[in-house]
Structure 1
């Protein structure tokens, strides 16, 4: 029995899948099915920007964990991923960062034809409706609203002022001429509310008769017939059926789940698959090359007002009526891009600054006023892997990032913590901070002590990529090697993690994928 037949079957209604479903269904003669394990993005905490940490460990979170991380003393790390329309774009910090020109030019130089900065810039601009207007770097009129933050919290402003006091340049557009410097982030918000890819792309497309969304539906595997992808085996309401694809199956399930689905379908490292009794369709390095940004945050106590007192009726009214106030805060309001050492032409450190405490992997309750800022390793040389734990589709994959396992990454994080401590010593911070909060290093700490603290206290910045990378698993048109009718379009195809938050690049990759699929490359 078949649930139905479509031209395109997309797995995952996340950052990429919503874009693909909207773009492919623009052609009324094409039938598109979108399969999503979660359900609609109707919870209020999704749309009120400052509330997103309340989604952690909820039913709207895949709530993954890494295996013991060798670079973190065997610690397991918490890995939230959105399980709803919009995917992680429905529970992220809404920061709109494209990455560095060097990222894309590096991809192209390494063989990812068509992915240079000049070639991907039009796709960034096509999605974008930037409230600042159009220029050489930005677009207007696209589905995705990009706006300046409307919270402008003084505790985030203090970080920017202190960084300038420490000698760093101010930068009012990290997506413009240069990434270097400090400032406030632009956000995927519309009227002070979250503008996920579900809000921007999927909801307007839901009225189209040629788009079918199968929610609360778990993809089990890609069905391969005669060497070709013919559909997706899906479990819904306790029944397993096949959703058939006449043209293509597109995996947009993210950097952890897309490789898992490929491996369950017999596409992956042959020895690993055979060990689970899975018939090998194609021997490819699926799941290898995992990259992510590892972040450490200094937390400070303060007597000033922080976000913990934001949930008042007055602020709720401000959000509702005027789209401003502290509830519009994306938490990581400000930040910047830095070099860990001289001679780098692109940044290798990124900072985030939050007007609240952010500790214990974002799971620690903030019960007193505070603020936080700190670095992440932006261009990691560490590589991890996503592998199967079981041949059962309902079992989470094994994930090891190998954070901080290379000398380069260790040097970078220590240099970043030193920059953070220097910023913390400036007047704009010392005027507000009443002391360090929790396990936070002193400026007098040795490099070895700073590294030990980073291993102990750091966390993911929620940017996993590269597990189905262009050049190893898919070609530059995102087609899985030697499996006709099958593509991957999400952050797993990035040859390297981009220098910055990964939502905007994932949307760009989906925009480009839609054109590749339609055969209308611009």
Structure 2
């Protein structure tokens, strides 16, 4: 029951940490996962995210608080509760963000190790890019940016849609250049997303980093169904130190301990990590006192600085082409889709939730792309509801760099009670203005000649809404999360009172404790957040092994 490293959360970051740290046979490593094993078949079939999100077997089933920016609505807030974490239920899109994201982190933390040039090798270390499978035909410039032979498989999608090809052409007619690589440090352009799959199967971090390596190492233990209730802390010569954790397991309450010089690594995500810190007496003093929790270390930033990408879903009816709406609305269509996947591992069952992507600017005066599109050959009223009976496409657009900030706060000292999640979407004038401009840009793209033959008709939000005020209000009615919460244990300089961890991810004022997940991002990356989280874990693992 005593370990050199205890990792809380076997999700995206936790699986990589376990792999890297247990490679040293002299170190005992324990990986704790509150959820179960990733043996549910829908985890591994790409379209199975439809059956994993909202399923208590794989999802924490969080909801946001009623949000004024969303006209009082609550949103479902999926988080993976299974081996692989969110990599077992997410959209599988491989996206690093923009070089300027990491340069901004370096500036915010006063540490050049977070700059683009320094983090790029840590992206490449675990990458296994399909284009580098071939010995020849790949440029040196591409090789300089991508890796091969690592654990994290990146492949092209195994299907295309005629109407999405036309949307891409329309985007170029609207001034967005075509691209075949969103991960060069600038992701401006339109093209099909690359995905974390292998031969038509989802490739989650449990497959990539736990099997077959970790599970065969005698110095490694994995506990599933093991929820950390709180960290154990003690003072030594006036220094607060993490000494272990209380863990609720199927066999009862267990206490696990750290060996002298060992480290506790929180990798429970942007919701779970601040919750555990707050339950342990590490957080905003007033919040902890309100719930009768003794303040061990006042850290006002724990649970603050929540950022997320809010997508605004515009739906357009189309004619003269097939979309998933009609293909999947008959038993024969479903049978054909199933047979194509069984025999070829292709077709709609192999597809990520979004196939076509685009990065562009909300206005010409922007210095960099600040919008991301996820374009889908389908439509529905809300996630989890049936597809519409008519052919349609959905062009979802999100503000990559929102200025709105939210919170994650415990609502009780009971570890079994979910925290209060208040994203505070569209709470700034800038975010509301960009929401309106993004809807106008979507309309400009759809009005281009390349899509004319499909006679697109705006179904949602509706052409009658034109003014900034109308479009901002409509954004509140139809927008939803794209599942990218970050920032709730942000890293920063020593003089930043809101920073929870330093630039090496060590919790301020607590020895032997780090946070290693998306919660440490000071600002959200310009794109999907799963692969940046892996990079953070790769970066941290090297520091831990080097004793830094």
Q: TM-score, normalised by structure 2?
A: 0.91
Structure 1 residue matching 2:109: 3-state secondary structure:
coil
Residue 35 (structure 1) shift: 0.7
Q: Which stretch shows the higher mean deviation, 450-459 or 105-114? A: 105-114
Mapped contact 2:97–2:186 kept (Cα < 8 A): no
The correspondence of residues 183-332 of structure 1 with structure 2, limited to 5 A, is: 183-204=191-212, 205-226=214-235, 227-237=240-250, 239-246=252-259, 247-284=262-299, 285-303=301-319, 304-308=321-325, 309=327, 312-332=334-354
Mapped contact 1:144–1:197 kept (Cα < 8 A): yes
Superposed CA deviations along residues 200-244 of structure 1, whole A, max 9, x for unmatched, are: 112222222222111011110111122211111110126111121
Mapped contact 1:221–1:261 kept (Cα < 8 A): yes
Structure 2 residue matching 1:240: 3-state secondary structure:
strand
Residue 255 (structure 1) shift: 0.3
Residue 177 (structure 1) shift: 5.2
Residue 397 (structure 1) shift: 0.5
Residue 278 (structure 1) shift: 0.4
- 2:155 is aligned to 147
1:498 to 525, 530, 545: 525
Residue 112 (structure 1) shift: 4.6
Q: Which runs of 5+ in 1 are unaligned?
A: none
Residue 367 (structure 1) shift: 4.2
**Which 4+ residue blocks in structure 1 deviate beyond 6 angstroms?**
none
**Distance in structure 2 (CA, Å) of the matches to 1:287 and 1:183:** 36
Mapped contact 1:418–1:443 kept (Cα < 8 A): no
- 2:496 is aligned to none
Residue 312 (structure 1) shift: 3.9
**Distance in structure 2 (CA, Å) of the matches to 1:290 and 1:348:** 18
- 2:136 is aligned to none
Mapped contact 1:297–1:358 kept (Cα < 8 A): no
Residue 380 (structure 1) shift: 0.7
* 2:25 is equivalent to residue 6 of structure 1: no
Superposed CA deviations along residues 60-113 of structure 1, whole A, max 9, x for unmatched, are: 111111111121222111101111111111111111110111100011112251
Mapped contact 1:216–1:236 kept (Cα < 8 A): yes
* 2:468 is equivalent to residue 447 of structure 1: yes
Mapped contact 1:93–1:331 kept (Cα < 8 A): yes
1:508 to 535, 538, 541: 535
* 2:450 is equivalent to residue 428 of structure 1: yes
Structure 1 residue matching 2:50: 3-state secondary structure:
helix
* 2:191 is equivalent to residue 178 of structure 1: no
Mapped contact 2:70–2:425 kept (Cα < 8 A): yes
Superposed CA deviations along residues 436-481 of structure 1, whole A, max 9, x for unmatched, are: 44x4231762221111110111001100000000010001110001
Residue 301 (structure 1) shift: 2.9
Count how many residue pairs are aligned between Structure 1 and Structure 2. 516
* 2:483 is equivalent to residue 462 of structure 1: yes
Q: CA 1:514 to 1:321, structure 2 compared with 1: closer, same or farther past 3 Å?
A: farther
* 2:407 is equivalent to residue 346 of structure 1: no
CA RMSD of aligned residues (A): 1.7
**Distance in structure 1 (CA, Å) of the matches to 2:465 and 2:278:** 48
**Distance in structure 2 (CA, Å) of the matches to 1:29 and 1:128:** 27
Q: TM-score, normalised by structure 1?
A: 0.95
1:55 to 42, 46, 52: 52
**Distance in structure 2 (CA, Å) of the matches to 1:297 and 1:324:** 26
Mapped contact 2:98–2:185 kept (Cα < 8 A): no
- 2:138 is aligned to none
Q: CA 1:198 to 1:211, structure 2 compared with 1: closer, same or farther past 3 Å?
A: same
Structure 1 residue matching 2:486: 3-state secondary structure:
coil
- 2:396 is aligned to 374
The correspondence of residues 125-136 of structure 1 with structure 2, limited to 5 A, is: 125-133=124-132, 135-136=143-144
The correspondence of residues 17-166 of structure 1 with structure 2, limited to 5 A, is: 17-59=14-56, 60-113=58-111, 114-133=113-132, 135-166=143-174
**Distance in structure 2 (CA, Å) of the matches to 1:321 and 1:28:** 42
Q: Which stretch shows the higher mean deviation, 507-516 or 45-54? A: 45-54
**Distance in structure 2 (CA, Å) of the matches to 1:229 and 1:433:** 62
Q: CA 1:199 to 1:317, structure 2 compared with 1: closer, same or farther past 3 Å?
A: farther
Q: Which stretch shows the higher mean deviation, 287-296 or 439-448? A: 439-448
Superposed CA deviations along residues 133-166 of structure 1, whole A, max 9, x for unmatched, are: 2611100011000011112222332321221122
**Distance in structure 2 (CA, Å) of the matches to 1:321 and 1:282:** 57
**Distance in structure 1 (CA, Å) of the matches to 2:110 and 2:365:** 26
**Distance in structure 1 (CA, Å) of the matches to 2:341 and 2:437:** 39
